[in-house]
């Protein structure tokens, strides 16, 4: 089980609570990244560390998937770039508009059914 995951100083770090660390892999766009290191913490857990290649970081959202054997046990995303800022604002505006529609429909439903 992945207990903690973070990115700091260009490295992904995590704590893995599992007996078999040899089956852990980090993938980006389906390709396994190299350089994953394991360090026993002494309590049956492992400290995982992986340098993130700079060439993988570009504008947009980059998603990394953590797998144990064939099973996904976690993921993390890195969001970068100015174009993304506009995309996030547009998406937030759409979400607000949809929420307003839902609120109006809910209020209309309450009036029509006599609910308070």
Alpha carbon distance 22, 5 (integer Å): 18
pLDDT confidence of residue 85: 66
Residues of the chain with pLDDT under 50: none
Residue 42 and residue 94 share a domain: no
Residue 23 and residue 60 share a domain: yes
Alpha carbon distance 8, 68 (integer Å): 22
pLDDT confidence of residue 21: 65
Residue 54 and residue 42 share a domain: yes
If one counts the domains in the chain, the total is 2
Residue 115 and residue 90 share a domain: yes
pLDDT confidence of residue 17: 87
CA atoms within 13 A on the CB side of 45: 12
pLDDT confidence of residue 100: 86
pLDDT confidence of residue 88: 75
pLDDT confidence of residue 91: 80
Residue 96 and residue 53 share a domain: no
Domain that holds residue 97: 81-116
pLDDT confidence of residue 90: 75
The sheet that has 46-51: what strands, in order across it?
2-8, 11-16, 46-51, 37-40
Q: Are 1 and 16 within 8 A, CB to CB?
A: yes
Residue 74 and residue 89 share a domain: no
Q: What is the largest CA-CA distance in the chain?
A: 63
Residue 104 and residue 68 share a domain: no
Q: Are 60 and 84 within 8 A, CB to CB?
A: yes
């Amino acid at each position: 089980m992945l207990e903690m995951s973070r990115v700091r100083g260009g490295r992904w770090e995590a704590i893995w609570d599992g007996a078999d660390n040899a089956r852990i892999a980090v993938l980006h766009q389906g390709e396994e990244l190299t350089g994953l290191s394991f360090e026993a913490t002494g309590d049956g857990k492992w400290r995982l560390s992986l340098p993130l290649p700079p060439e993988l970081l570009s504008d947009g959202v980059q998603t990394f998937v953590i797998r144990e054997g064939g099973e996904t046990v976690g993921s993390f995303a890195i969001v970068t770039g100015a174009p993304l800022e506009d995309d996030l604002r547009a998406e937030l505006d759409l979400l607000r508009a949809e929420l307003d529609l839902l609120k109006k429909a809910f209020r209309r439903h309450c009036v029509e059914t006599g609910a308070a």
